[in-house]
Amino acid sequence: MKGFLEVSPLKVLEGSAYKGLGKGNLGVLMARAGVGKTSCLIHIAFDKLFRDEKLVHVSLKDAPEKVSSYYSVIFSDLVKALSIANEYEVRSLLDRNRIILAYLKESFDLNRLRKNLRNLVQEVDFIPDSLIVDGIDFAETSRDIFEGFKTIAEEFDLEVWFSALSHRHITEVNERGIPFPCNKLDDFFSLIMQLYATGSGVFLRLLKDHDSEAIPDAMVRLDPDNFLAMD
């Protein structure tokens, strides 16, 4: 799977302090509506899966069927873009390493998630390396929830990636340069990335890199068709 890792959106972390998020830590990918937040988040998931790591995708808005179809569509794009020959085998391997946990109709709470993760570890021997969390409304979610996620990340030795929706009309930015909706929550996150589109393409840049004072001037340009790193 070397081909993918060379063009993964997470190439943006090559210049970062730890080259990645690291277990026990939280990371967030923020973008405005329609830029491709979920697609990019799933590319982060593929980065983990292609490294043969185990992953749990937590969805707070979509049913598993829909999440699974996102993965299928993106995988089909990757098969074409990377000319993956043994598609069936690769897909089977990825399916083995990914489980979707969906919480529909406001069924989500941290205790349920913790219990579900424990079931996966104890009953199925599925020990996840990463958690992808899609669908949390950052503007409406209290700090307690993120504290809870931090505890879960440490307890289960996981790295946890979130997506966050930013808005064109809310321009708040904190003193550390982190925009809404992460401006009041940035202390929870070790990595903060922003996905944005300009006339010249779609870009992913790093806004926070662990405790490093100097944010590397890292930015990758992504192919808008398949979110793979260009250049």
Partner 1 sequence: MVEEIQHLRNIGISAHIDSGKTTLTERILYYTKRIFAVHEVKGKDGVGAKMDSMELERERGITISSAATYCEWKGHRINIIDTPGHVDFTMEVERSLKVLDGAILVLCGVAGVQSQSITVDRQMSRYKVPRVAFINKCDRAGADPYRVVKQLRQRLNHNAVLMQIPIGLEGDFSGVIDLVSMKALYFEGPFGEEVKTGEIPSPLLDEAVAKREEMLDAASLFSDELMEALLDGSVREELIYEAVRRGTLSRQLTPVFIGSAYKNIGVQPVLDAVTDYLPSPKEVENTALDMDQGEKEVLLSSDPGDPVVVLAFKLEVTPYGQLTYLRIYQGTVGKGDDLVNTRDRKKIRVGRLVRMHADEMEDISSAGAGDIVALFGVNCFSGDTFTDGRLNYSMGSMFVPEPVISLAISPKDNRSDTNMAKALNRFTREDPTFQSRVDEESGQTIISGMGELHLEIYVERMKREFRAAVDTGIPQVAYRESISRRAEFNYIHKKQTGGAGQYGRVAGFMEPSEDGIYEFINKVKGGVIPSEFMSAVDKGFQSCLKKGLLIGFPVRGIRITVNDGQYHVVDSSERAFLHAAIGAFKQAYSKARPVILEPIMKVSVECPCEFQGNVMSSINQRRGLIMSSAEDGVFTTVEAEVPLAEMFGYATTLRSLTQGKGEFTMEFSRYAQVPETLAEDLRLRYKEKSKRSKA
Binding site for partner 1 (CB under 8 A): 63-64, 67-68, 95-96, 99-105, 107-108, 112, 115-116, 118-120, 122-126
Write down the least CB distance from residue 85 to partner 1, Å.
Answer: 13
How open is the CA angle 209-46-190, to the nearest 5 degrees? 15
Among 226, 231, 229, CA closest to 78: 226
Nearer to partner 1, 24 or 64 (CB): 64
User: Looking up tokens 């959106």, which residue turns up?
Assistant: 9
Q: Which tokens is 118 given?
A: 């424990």
CB 97 within 8 A of CB 140: no
Least distance to partner 1, CB of residue 141, Å: 18
CB of 106 to partner 1, least distance (A): 9
Closest CA to 99 of 135, 124, 62, 76: 124
Alpha-carbon distance 195 to 206, whole Å? 9
Nearer to partner 1, 85 or 124 (CB): 124
For partner 1, which is the closer residue by CB, 91 or 210? 91
Q: Which is nearer to partner 1, 22 or 64 (CB)?
A: 64
Closest CB to partner 1 among residues 125, 175: 125
CB of residue 49 vs partner 1: minimum separation in angstroms?
A: 14
Tell the smallest beta-carbon distance from residue 220 to partner 1 (Å): 31
What distance in Å separates the CA atoms of residue 49 and residue 45, rounded to the nearest whole number? 6
**Could you tell me which of 54, 182, 172 has the C-alpha nearest to residue 120?**
54
Tokens representing residue 158 in the block: 């996981």
